[in-house]
Structure 1
Amino acid sequence: MNVEQRVRQLVEEKIADREDLFIVDIKMHLNGTLMILIDSDNGIAIEDCAMVSRTVGFFLEEENVIEQAYNLEVSSPGIDYPLGMKRQYEKNIGRTISVQMVDEVNKKREGKLLDVQEEGILLEENIKEKGKKAIVQESFIAFDHITETKVLISFK
């Protein structure tokens, strides 16, 4: 079992009684930083990150999982971190997102996330054509046609 697998196991055990918490990503970087990203359906609290950090840190030291010096970082994914899990998409229904597409024709699309389904998302887009008024169109985008999705922040 490698470091990331053991850490995932430790975090899953710690948050098992909290249905709202979930793991987004776990990475051991070459510079010695172990990064754990957790999120919540209801928004993440600093106490949640601290709880995971204490637990993982204790067991990593106790079991001597990482032999070299390391830094442990536990946080929520920032707003600029791409959505990767269906659960993250569901959490952001109603928000404006930017979707980077696989194909070359519609490389990037933006709109309001209306729904998340098993195979993809439903996006409400404003389609603009030269010389015409913009029309609102609902589009289904399959997950396998998406390379990256980010939530867009409006400061209006």
Structure 2
Amino acid sequence: MARRKIEDIVTEMVSPITEKNHFELVDVEFLKEGANWYLRVYIDKEGGISIDDCQLVSEALGEELDKTDPISQHYFLEVSSPGIERPLKRDKDYIKYKGEQVEVKLFQPIDGKKIFEGKLEGLLDGKISIIGSNNETLEFDRETVAVVKRTIKF
């Protein structure tokens, strides 16, 4: 079964669990690291996710996965918070975190540079916009961006 399809199936399975418990489903990943496969589910809620919240979702999702068995190979299930420096993946993330500091990593460099930092302005017409350190507006086509994540400066 294709990686994307597994993520979609698991998203459908875990969504009712997260909704019932008033959690936000941030992301589902199914990927191979070394010799092992990992099914990672990232959840969040106002005030942050606790280990008990992760355990609740892990146990409920584990039961559903055991019933339907959509993944043929051996894998490890992990449920966790996306963390403070969470990646922005969905359109609503760009609305929620507008005005926050972000790091934009590109697939290919622009003028020899692949990483840009600034204040998130938003996502409009497929372009991610940030205000850089010199108050310049920087725009990136979404398909050229590897990852956008929140950054915390201390």
Letter in 2 for 1:96: Q
**Gaps (5+ residues) in structure 2?**
none
Alpha-carbon spacing, 1:59–1:17, altered in 2? closer, same or farther (3 Å): closer
Greater shift after overlay, 43-52 or 107-116? 43-52
Distance 1:18 1:138 in 2: 39
The TM-score normalised by the length of structure 2 is: 0.71
Q: Secondary structure at the match of 2:88?
A: coil
Q: Secondary structure at the match of 2:136?
A: strand
Distance 2:148 2:73 in 1: 35
Q: Which has the larger radius of gyration?
A: 1
The residue that corresponds to 1:7 in the other structure is: 10
Alpha-carbon spacing, 1:144–1:18, altered in 2? closer, same or farther (3 Å): farther
How far off its partner does 1:113 sit?
0.8
Q: Secondary structure at the match of 2:93?
A: helix
The residue that corresponds to 2:65 in the other structure is: 60
Letter in 2 for 1:141: F
The yes-or-no answer on 1:21 pairing with 2:20 is no
In the TM superposition, structure 1's runs of 4+ consecutive aligned residues that sit over 6 Å from their partners are none
Q: Secondary structure at the match of 2:89?
A: coil
The yes-or-no answer on 1:154 pairing with 2:153 is yes
Equivalent positions of 1:39-58 (< 5 A) are: 39-40=44-45, 42=46, 44-46=48-50, 47-58=52-63
Query: In structure 2, which of residues 121, 133, 140 is the aligned counterpart of residue 126 of structure 1?
Result: 133
Query: In structure 2, which of residues 110, 116, 136 is the aligned counterpart of residue 109 of structure 1?
Result: 116
- Contact kept in structure 2, 1:53 and 1:72, CA below 8 Å: yes
How far off its partner does 1:7 sit?
2.2
**Gaps (5+ residues) in structure 1?**
128-135
The residue that corresponds to 1:31 in the other structure is: 36
The TM-score normalised by the length of structure 1 is: 0.70
Q: Secondary structure at the match of 1:13?
A: helix
How far off its partner does 1:88 sit?
2.5
How far off its partner does 1:75 sit?
0.8
Q: CA RMSD in A?
A: 3.1
User: What whole-Å deviation, never above 9, does each CA across 1:90-148 have from its counterpart, x for those lacking one?
Assistant: 33222211112334325322111123334223311123xxxxxxxx2223333123222
The residue that corresponds to 1:95 in the other structure is: 100
- Contact kept in structure 2, 1:112 and 1:123, CA below 8 Å: yes
The yes-or-no answer on 1:82 pairing with 2:87 is yes
